[in-house]
């Protein structure tokens, strides 16, 4: 017996049907905003990933050499591959480009509930603009898609890594320190600020910033105050970052679009270096340790890959975690029964009539043909065990439909197989 590789899952039919039903809703939401689906290879040149996906992800890469000694890696996320596709194929096309994907990704991580080595991301990239309205639309799309899926208990946190970076610069911190601090903030491990060799005063100021969490007006007021206090103390004059106004604008527009429940959180910075402005994360309260179900924001990845600056924004749902959260909230999408009917030939001699009947029934519902010559009794037992709601028993002249739950039966002439479902709720 072989077992599946660590950190992977086998997805059985019941779960698969739920996933496909959810996927359909996600696709409809993305497409309703004009996004079009793309597919990229499962593996890319390692370099694309190692240079663009950020250290944290690179540590967990499935990388290998092919027979021609090309260095390749299984994709750990889909932003970098999608931007590569854009830079290769679409850069001369009208902007902005709205692209989406629902694909599997691979990371060599320690598996636990909600964290796998193979997992799925459903995400969008809006490439060629990162205006406040573009950011607001992207946030609203993530928010409204989760609502459409029926997810109830989630929290949207919006921050701005551009403001945080400038704030850290204002504290006269060097670039590599800023990188380390952003990493600590992203991991929400503020305790580690003591380990990277920064002064106590700076540490306190960073914690003060990371703790700004609340409603728009209050949060903007606090960050403005904090910045101007530091600027005043340093240069004796008022200081305010030019990023604050557009950020405020993004938040106001998101509210206008319908994002009616969120917090501003300057502790949200996202791990990757290429995020530049507004960033956001969504957490499910129904999940435990791995509760982040979505991450996104504005970034300037096209410049890194395509040598041309094109501001962009996007997000990715952790699809498996979204499904887990929905399941914990008791949400079910699919009540379709497959198969709906089992067609049973009463005897060998009527097999051709059963085949004909099954073909007619299949035009209306899913239907399985009894293939193994079971007796009627055994075939009915099988239908019961499989929870197939109806059986259709085909004989020389007559065709009988039986409700397996109630035992109720009605019959038709065998030539009228298509009528057998009349009046039956499906």
The closest residue (CB) to ligand AMP is 318
**Distance in angstroms between the alpha carbons of the first and the last residue of the chain:** 40
Q: Is 116 in the site for ligand AMP (CB under 6 A)?
A: yes
| E strand map for 266-335 | 275-284, 292-299, 312-318
Question: In the stretch 67-86, what mask flags binding to ligand AMP with x, by CB under 6 A?
Answer: ----------x---------
- CB contact burial 71-110 (16+ within 10 A = b; e otherwise): ebbbbbbbbbbbbbbbbeebbeeeebbbbbbbbbbbbeee
Q: Please identify which residue in 27, 95, 115, 328 interacts with ligand AMP, judged by CB under 6 A.
A: 115
Cβ of residue 107: shortest distance to ligand AMP, in angstroms? Answer: 5
| Count, residues near ligand AMP per rule CB under 6 A | 15
Strand 275-284, strand 154-160: pairing? antiparallel
Q: Which is nearer to ligand AMP, 268 or 420 (CB)?
A: 268
Per DSSP, what are the bridge partners of residue 283?
155, 292
Rg (C-alpha) for the chain, rounded Å, is 28
Which residues have C-beta within 8 Å of that of residue 200, sequence separation ≥ 6?
none
Residues between 195 and 234 that touch ligand AMP (CB under 6 A) = none
Q: Which span (114-122, 128-136, 144-152, 170-178) binds ligand AMP, by CB under 6 A? A: 114-122
CA–CA distance, 48 with 96 (Å, rounded to integer): 23
The residue to which tokens 């491990």 are assigned: 189
Q: Which is nearer to ligand AMP, 40 or 228 (CB)?
A: 40
Q: Please identify which residue in 81, 132, 318, 339 interacts with ligand AMP, judged by CB under 6 A.
A: 318
| H/E segment holding residue 392 | strand 390-394
Q: Which is nearer to ligand AMP, 295 or 311 (CB)?
A: 295
Residues between 141 and 160 that touch ligand AMP (CB under 6 A) = none
Q: Is 119 in the site for ligand AMP (CB under 6 A)?
A: yes
Q: Which is nearer to ligand AMP, 321 or 353 (CB)?
A: 321
CA–CA distance, 227 with 404 (Å, rounded to integer): 71
Q: Which is nearer to ligand AMP, 40 or 292 (CB)?
A: 292
Q: If 0-12 CB within 10 Å is exposed, 13-18 middle and 19+ buried, where does residue 418 land?
A: middle
The residue to which tokens 């298509």 are assigned: 418
Q: Which span (107-115, 157-165, 325-333, 352-360) binds ligand AMP, by CB under 6 A? A: 107-115
Cβ of residue 248: shortest distance to ligand AMP, in angstroms? Answer: 25
Q: Which is nearer to ligand AMP, 56 or 249 (CB)?
A: 56
Q: If 0-12 CB within 10 Å is exposed, 13-18 middle and 19+ buried, where does residue 254 land?
A: buried
Cβ of residue 386: shortest distance to ligand AMP, in angstroms? Answer: 32
Question: In the stretch 277-316, what mask flags binding to ligand AMP with x, by CB under 6 A?
Answer: ---------------xxxx--------------------x
Binding residues (CB under 6 A) for ligand AMP: these are: 77, 107, 109, 115-116, 119, 121, 292-295, 316, 318, 320-321
């Amino acid at each position: 017996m072989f077992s599946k590789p660590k950190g992977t899952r086998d997805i059985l039919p019941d779960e698969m049907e739920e996933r496909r039903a959810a996927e359909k809703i996600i696709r409809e939401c993305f497409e309703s905003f004009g996004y079009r689906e793309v597919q990229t290879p499962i593996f890319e040149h390692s370099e694309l990933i190692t240079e663009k996906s950020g250290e944290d992800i690179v540590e967990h890469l499935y990388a290998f050499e092919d027979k021609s000694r090309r260095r390749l890696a299984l994709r750990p996320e889909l932003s970098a591959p999608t931007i590569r596709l854009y830079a290769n194929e679409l850069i001369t096309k009208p902007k902005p480009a709205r692209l989406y994907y629902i694909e599997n990704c691979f990371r060599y991580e320690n598996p636990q509930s909600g964290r796998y080595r193979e997992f799925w991301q459903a995400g969008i990239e809006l490439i060629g603009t990162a205006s406040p309205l573009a950011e607001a639309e992207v946030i609203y799309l993530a928010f409204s898609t989760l609502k459409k899926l029926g997810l109830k208990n989630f929290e949207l946190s919006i921050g701005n890594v551009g403001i945080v970076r400038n704030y850290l610069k204002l504290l006269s911190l060097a670039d590599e320190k800023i990188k380390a601090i952003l990493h600590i903030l992203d991991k929400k491990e503020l305790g580690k600020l003591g380990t990277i060799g920064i002064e106590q005063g700076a540490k306190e100021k960073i914690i003060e910033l990371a703790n700004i969490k609340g409603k728009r007006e209050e949060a903007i007021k606090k960050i403005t105050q904090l910045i101007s206090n530091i600027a005043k103390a340093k240069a004796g004059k008022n200081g305010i970052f030019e990023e604050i106004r557009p950020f405020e604008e993004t938040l106001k527009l998101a509210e206008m679009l319908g994002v009616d429940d969120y917090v501003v959180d300057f502790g949200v910075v996202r791990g990757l270096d290429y995020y530049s402005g507004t960033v956001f994360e969504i957490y499910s309260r129904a999940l435990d340790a791995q509760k982040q179900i979505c991450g996104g924001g504005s970034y300037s990845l096209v410049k890194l890959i395509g040598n041309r600056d094109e501001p962009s924004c996007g997000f990715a749902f952790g699809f498996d975690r979204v499904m887990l959260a929905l399941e914990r909230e008791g949400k079910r999408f699919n009540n379709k029964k497959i198969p709906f009917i089992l067609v049973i030939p009463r005897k060998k001699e009527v097999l051709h009539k059963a085949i004909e009947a099954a073909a007619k029934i299949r035009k209306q519902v899913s239907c399985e043909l009894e293939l193994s010559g079971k007796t009627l009794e055994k075939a009915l037992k099988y239908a019961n065990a499989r929870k197939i709601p109806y059986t259709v028993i085909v004989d020389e002249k007559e065709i009988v439909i039986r409700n397996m739950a109630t035992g109720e039966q009605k019959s038709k002439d065998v030539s009228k197989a298509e009528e057998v479902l009349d009046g039956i709720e499906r």
